[in-house]
């Protein structure tokens, strides 16, 4: 009997509703959110980074930034490699108990520390050494984020040139909207109506005038009327095909420019406008699944056309050619790098969002609720690939990504929307996530390096603290990483680094809570931290030592066929993976020692009967 996609959606909605209505309310009381407290956005308002934002605007920015390509890419990858059941269980259970908690405590902790990053927070309790280790860890992870997302944008632009045109239009509209709001101080609601309508009109223009940088690859074709700007990608190292090769540096250059502009000029207005695309895409797809199932209005039956479970070692057609395997443990838990839990979110929460939060109680909706929203996006991604899982294994997992648009287009036919519009629209939804996350990541990388340097004392430090040099260094390193174009290498490494950063963010929250009030319970943050640290250390060691070192650099067969760019990229990936593991283990040791010292002191006070010991147990 065919299994309907609607059951995936309902299972997640039930779990997420219970989490938000119950657990998030408890957590808000637990960290003592209070609207009487002045938020950092008001206390340090500077018109550049600290800018109070209306709740819907900030929710749009935050959701757009955290819900990048990862909650789409990860579930699609996991679904086609291991089957839809393991992917669904990890999203439905892990998100409300781990990921949403992670985002909420990262945002709340930053509010209590002047809107500073998680690196600054842990440094307050374990010293500058711990701060610098976490900031360097985050900085290296940021480079992986930029590399991976730039590659994914190139892949989607190649599959759907309509999305390239629509993306350019909506970026231009965002710049104009920023001037409209912050320079001319014109009405918010009428402006929203006009500019949001213009963004959707941009989708129609994209369908009419698709854009590609180079001619289509051999055996492929673009939609009729596609505008092709160049004859080829020139001297650039080939990344899958010429068009993707050309798009990747364009995306990285865009991210560089966007990351150094004031937040009011592009980041806030673009994320607010794109949030309407995202809400429409995610909410519309979820509702379309229900409508199409009940009324049978979809173009195709909305049933799962994907294996429930493909075995512990995964589908060999999507595994790296050198190994032929992708073991479910530990790789499933780092493949779905967002949608369940993501360390990148701690950088957004404590980097840009905390500097724009208007009232403390907004943190519950934006932090915990925003992550649940990303889980819904992950569910939509899993649903789309379940409906349209048609990409042959020979195409590689990177080329399976456009299934999100194809499957989403099929689902939207439940409303009578033709796939010729629905698929490009869903491609734009995916790209809007990706572009937002890419330039937000570069901006956060700037913050990380600036916090490491603090007040420049040497000429080298002054150069490193320069926003243009800082962002430029990240951009160049990201391009070197992505130059190999190997999806099977880059995505698990990004996922492992990202999830290990999540473990360290939870460690930071645990240390903060232990030092804030020694009687605070540490289970809500401590247990997820231990689980994620264990999984991700094993995953990074597997990737660095087995998949990349043994099966590539030490393999004469692989070396004989690899280009210099391939070899450099793999070597850099190995070094990054091992450095990340070393930093994480060292930082975990420092955090454990700090918490143990605090708790041991509490126990000693209770034994000797010092003031504050004994009495009624805390309900915290």
Q: pLDDT (tens digit, 9 = 90+) per residue, 41-99?
A: 998 888 777 888 888 888 877 887 787 677 887 888 888 889 999 999 999 999 999 99
Angle at 120 (CA atoms; ends 117, 121), nearest 5 degrees? 90
Tell me the pLDDT tens digit for each residue of 537-589: 999 999 899 988 998 899 998 899 888 878 887 888 889 889 889 988 999 99
Tell me the pLDDT tens digit for each residue of 375-429: 998 998 888 888 875 444 344 445 556 677 888 888 999 999 998 888 888 888 8
Q: How far is Cα 87 from Cα 304, in angstroms, rounded to an integer?
A: 14
Beta carbons of 76 and 337 less than 8 angstroms apart: no
3-state secondary structure 468-499: HHHHHHHHHHHHHHHCCCCHHHHHHHHHHHHH
3-state secondary structure 423-484: HHHHHHHHHHHHHHHHHHHHHHHHHHHHHHHCCCCCHHHHHHHCHHHHHHHHHHHHHHHHCC
Q: How far is Cα 533 from Cα 228, in angstroms, rounded to an integer?
A: 46
> Which residue reads 């949608």 in tokens?
339
Fold annotation for 6-608: Amino acid/polyamine transporter I (1.20.1740)
Reported as a pLDDT band with limits 50, 70 and 90, residue 220 is: confident
Beta carbons of 146 and 152 less than 8 angstroms apart: no
Q: How far is Cα 391 from Cα 602, in angstroms, rounded to an integer?
A: 58
Question: Residue 65: which of 474, 358, 497, 440 has the closest Cα?
Answer: 440
Main-chain phi, psi angles of 554, to 5 degrees: -95, 5
Q: Provide the 10 A C-beta neighbour count for residue 174.
A: 22
> Could you tell me which residues come within 8 angstroms of residue 154 by beta carbon, excluding any fewer than 6 positions away?
239, 240, 243, 244, 245, 247, 248, 251
Mean pLDDT of 186-202: 93
> Considering the chain, what is the average pLDDT of its residues?
86
Which tokens in the block code for residue 236? 């650039």
Q: How far is Cα 229 from Cα 366, in angstroms, rounded to an integer?
A: 41
Tell me the pLDDT tens digit for each residue of 453-488: 877 888 888 888 888 999 999 999 899 888 765 666
Mean pLDDT of 319-334: 80
Residues facing residue 212 across a β-bridge: 228
Tell me the pLDDT tens digit for each residue of 246-282: 999 999 999 999 988 888 898 878 878 887 887 888 8
Reported as a pLDDT band with limits 50, 70 and 90, residue 617 is: very low
Tell me the pLDDT tens digit for each residue of 358-367: 999 999 999 9
């Amino acid at each position: 009997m065919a299994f309907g996609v609607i059951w995936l959606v309902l299972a997640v909605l039930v779990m997420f509703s219970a989490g938000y209505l119950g657990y998030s309310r408890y957590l808000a009381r637990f960290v003592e959110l209070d609207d009487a407290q002045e938020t950092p956005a008001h206390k340090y308002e500077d018109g550049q980074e600290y800018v109070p934002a209306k709740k819907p605007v900030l929710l749009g920015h935050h959701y757009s930034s955290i819900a990048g390509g990862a909650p789409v890419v990860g579930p699609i990858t996991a679904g086609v490699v291991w089957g839809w059941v393991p992917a669904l269980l990890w999203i439905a259970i892990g998100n409300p108990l781990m990921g949403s908690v992670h985002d909420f405590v990262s945002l709340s902790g930053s509010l209590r520390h002047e809107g500073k990053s998680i690196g600054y927070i842990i440094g307050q309790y374990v010293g500058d050494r711990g701060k610098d280790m976490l900031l360097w860890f985050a900085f290296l992870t940021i480079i992986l984020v930029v590399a991976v997302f730039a590659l994914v944008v190139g892949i989607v632009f190649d599959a759907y040139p309509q999305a390239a045109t629509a993306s350019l239009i909506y970026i231009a509209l965002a710049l104009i909207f920023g001037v409209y709001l912050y320079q001319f101080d014109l009405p918010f609601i009428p402006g929203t109506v006009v500019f949001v309508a213009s963004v959707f009109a941009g989708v129609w223009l994209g369908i009419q005038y698709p854009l590609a940088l180079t001619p289509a690859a051999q055996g492929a074709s673009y939609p009729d009327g596609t505008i092709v700007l160049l004859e080829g990608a020139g001297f650039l190292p080939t990344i899958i095909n010429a068009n993707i090769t050309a798009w990747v540096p364009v995306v990285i250059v865009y991210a560089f420019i966007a990351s150094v502009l004031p937040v009011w000029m592009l980041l806030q207005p673009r994320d607010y406008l794109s949030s309407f695309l995202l809400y429409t895409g995610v909410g519309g797809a979820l509702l379309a699944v229900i409508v199409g199932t009940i009324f049978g209005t979809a173009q195709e039956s909305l049933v799962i056309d994907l294996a429930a479970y493909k075995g512990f070692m995964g589908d060999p057609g999507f595994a790296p050619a050198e190994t032929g395997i992708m073991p479910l443990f530990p790789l499933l838990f780092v493949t779905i790098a967002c949608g369940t839990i993501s360390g990148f979110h701690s950088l957004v929460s404590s980097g840009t969002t905390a500097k724009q939060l208007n009232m403390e109680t907004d943190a519950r909706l934006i932090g915990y609720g925003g992550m649940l929203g990303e889980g819904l996006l992950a569910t939509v991604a899993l649903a789309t690939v379940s409906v349209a899982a048609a990409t042959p294994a020979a195409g590689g997992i990177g080329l399976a990504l456009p299934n999100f648009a194809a499957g989403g287009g099929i689902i939207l036919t439940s409303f009578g929307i033709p796939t010729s519009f629905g698929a490009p629209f869903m491609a734009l939804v995916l790209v809007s996530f990706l572009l937002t996350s890419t330039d937000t990541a570069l901006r956060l990388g700037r913050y990380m390096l600036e916090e490491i340097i603090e007040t420049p004392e040497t000429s080298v430090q002054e150069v490193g603290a320069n926003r243009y040099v800082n962002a430029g260094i990240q951009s160049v390193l990201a391009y070197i990483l992505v130059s190999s174009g190997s999806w099977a290498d880059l995505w698990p490494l990004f996922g492992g680094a990202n999830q290990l950063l999540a473990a360290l963010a939870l460690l930071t929250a645990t240390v903060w809570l232990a030092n804030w009030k020694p009687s605070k319970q540490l289970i809500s943050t401590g247990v997820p931290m231990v689980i994620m640290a264990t999984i991700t250390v094993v995953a990074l060691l597997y990737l660095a030592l087995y998949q990349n070192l043994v099966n590539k650099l030490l393999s004469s067969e692989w070396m004989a066929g690899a280009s210099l760019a391939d070899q450099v990229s793999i070597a850099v990936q190995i070094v990054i993976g091992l450095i990340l593991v070393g930093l994480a283990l060292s930082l975990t040791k420092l955090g454990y020692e700090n918490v143990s010292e605090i708790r041991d002191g509490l126990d000693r006070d209770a034994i000797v009967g010092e003031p504050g010991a004994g009495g009624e147990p805390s309900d915290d």
